[in-house]
Chain A
Amino acid sequence: MLVLSGIAVVILGFALRFNPLLVVITAGLVTALAAGLDPVAAIAAIGKAFRDNRFIAIPWLVLPVIGLIERGGIRERARTLITRIRGATTGRVLIAYFTVRQITAALGLISLGGHVQMVRPLIAPMAEATAERDAPIDPDTRHHIRAHAAAADNVAVFFGEDVFIAIGSILLIRGVLEQHGIFVQPLQLAVWAIPTAIAAFLIHNARLLLLDRRLRARVGAEA
């Protein structure tokens, strides 16, 4: 039971809005101590686990490129392009991105997109620009639209990638079932990801249409 104290640290620390890095490392130390390690061994355990997970940071190598093309004006260009398209709205921009992202993820192409490469330089500026075409937007609305841009990326990938047979989660399921003597083909698992993929598409895009309606109501209220 004592090893759960790390979870308590995480929940409390996040709820009280301490710095997340400090919360997580404290949780790691508390868990390691609760598991019977001495303090020096606890710090070493965290060091080892942190080093073993360095591969997670490799995608940050795109930072200089994205920074440079922002300097070159890519966000401004994205706004200009989208506002030229008649009928483009915040919701429709995000629905288009969601659709492309979910389909490509279902084909195993999950590297086509992402928050740093696509959402920040392209999708969020487009979604904001279409809303701004009708009326100036206040900071809260701007942040809400940006959050929706990030959410569209997440939902599309999560509920698209499992339709692809070679994705990590399918391989993990297969491995776990195999350990218990059940042998399944990846394709069987992928097929059962399709109903939820369709539900995610319908539910999330319906919400994006509602977002459009709320944004329009805001313009109506001000006019």
Chain B
Amino acid sequence: MIGLEELYILVGMMFAVFALGHVFHRRDPARWRSAGFWGCYAAIFLAGSHLSDLAVGGLVLGMAMLAALCLKPGAPPPTTSADEREASANRLRNRLFIPALAIPAITLGVSLAMKDGMVAGFPLIDPKQVTLAGLAGGALVGLALAMWLIRPPAGAPAAEGRRLADAVGWAIVLPQMLAALGGVFAVAGVGEVVARIATDHMPMAIPLFAVIVYTVGMALFTIVMGNAFAAFPVMTAGIGLPIIVGQFGGDPVIMSAVGMLSGFCGTLLTPMAANYNIVPAAILELPDRNGVIKVQVPTALLLLAFNTALMALTVYPK
């Protein structure tokens, strides 16, 4: 049965190939640093389930050290020239979109058609991981289609994948690192402490103020934690339910639905939400790692104001 472990092996093999690519790239003076970084990451996927927590922690520490030594030396050398790509684009035309569209099509197809992971009565995929398995399947089929269409040298998928991985650099690992930090925060009880400070110091004797503290608090808490999902349980248990619902008789449905969306406004504003803000800046090769956040600020603030007004006007019984 295909479950997370099989997918981890696949991811691990990919990063191991990237690491080997660096080892054999003799002209690059920083090749051991890059090879070490992707090699550690590959090891965590390939062997992580069999290593002790401490060993994985050591590998993670090693990766952070290597990244701090500036893993990202600037734009990686291009593998093809602009003229070659232009000629290829003119030859292949719209067929080029086929592999790109195959990825979401297959992800969707698998997650809709094999909800229970069964194929012809045979349990093929772990039912809990159908979407991720579909995505991996889509990536593999897309790769086969791209090879068939473009007919590059056999080493091209490794070289092109590594080119992209190096362009994104340490940002590839940041979302997972932040999720791990969230886990440590949860063990240490950081959320409860923040909520206690918020509830102890905020004036909440007026219904309108309670709404403002809740929506703005959701956004601020999300900015700190990087994730509205981390903020929601704490803010709702600390402010939303006891005060807006309990004290003033507000509607819990409106409060929580709009409260969560207020948290999403915070997600648009924080480097802690690396997947949405820092990773795309790296993927699009922006010089300013906060470039995406800066563009999102006006939308986020206007929507937070909208959410606050919406909740203030609708949550309390008339």
Q: Which residues of B contact A (CB under 8 A)?
A: 4, 7-8, 10-11, 14, 44-45, 48-49, 52-61, 63-65, 67-68, 70, 79-80, 82, 85-90, 92-94, 96-97, 99-100, 103-104, 107-108, 111, 129, 131-132, 135-136, 138-140, 142-143, 146-147, 149-150, 152, 156-165, 170-185, 187-190, 193-194, 224, 228-229, 232-233, 236-237, 241, 245, 252-254, 256-258, 260-261, 264, 267-268, 271-272, 274-281, 283-288, 291-292, 294-296, 298-299, 302-303, 306-307, 310
Contact = CB atoms under 8 A, between A and B. Distances in A.
Contact of A184 (B67, B253, B267): B253
Nearest to A189: B257
Given A76-B82, A196-B310, A204-B299, 8 more contacts: A7-B194, A24-B181, A47-B52, A47-B58, A55-B132, A71-B152, A116-B283, A190-B257
B147 A68 contact: yes
B184 A150 contact: no
Given A6-B188, A60-B14, A77-B89, A47 B135 contact: no
18 contacts: A6-B181, A24-B174, A31-B188, A47-B59, A49-B179, A54-B48, A55-B129, A65-B143, A68-B146, A71-B150, A71-B156, A80-B89, A111-B104, A143-B284, A147-B295, A162-B261, A184-B253, A196-B303
Nearest to B279: A115
A18 B170 CA distance: 12
A15 to B, nearest CB: 10
Contacts of B61: 25, 43, 46
Contacts of A173: 232, 256-257, 260
B241 A180 contact: yes
Given A7-B224, A20-B274, A21-B68, A51 B56 contact: yes
Interface stretch (A82-90, A120-128, A129-137, A213-221): A120-128
Given A18-B68, A21-B174, A192-B253, A63 B161 contact: yes
Contact of B190 (A3, A61, A117): A3
Contact of B63 (A21, A144, A146): A21
Contacts of A207: 298-299
Question: Counting chain B CB atoms within 10 Å of each CB, which of A64, A80, A193 scores highest?
Answer: A64
- Majority SS at the chain B contact face: helix
Contacts of A77: 89, 92-94, 96-97
A103 interface: no
A143 B287 contact: yes
Nearest to B82: A76
Contacts of A64: 14, 139, 143, 157-158, 160-161
Interface residues of A, number: 106
Given A47-B54, A47-B55, A58-B7, A188 B253 contact: yes
A19 B252 contact: no
Contact of B257 (A4, A49, A192): A192
Given A74-B96, A176-B256, A182-B252, A28 B181 contact: yes
Given A65-B143, A68-B143, A116-B283, A155 B164 contact: no
Given A54-B176, A117-B103, A162-B261, A61 B299 contact: no
A61 B14 contact: yes
B177 A150 contact: no
Nearest to A3: B188
Nearest to B306: A199
A76 B174 CA distance: 30
Contacts of B99: 65, 68-69
A44 interface: yes
B135 A59 contact: yes
A34 interface: yes
A209 interface: no
A67 B163 contact: yes
Nearest to B189: A3
Interface string A1-27: 101101100100010001111101101
A169 B194 CA distance: 21
A21 B173 contact: yes
B57 A6 contact: no
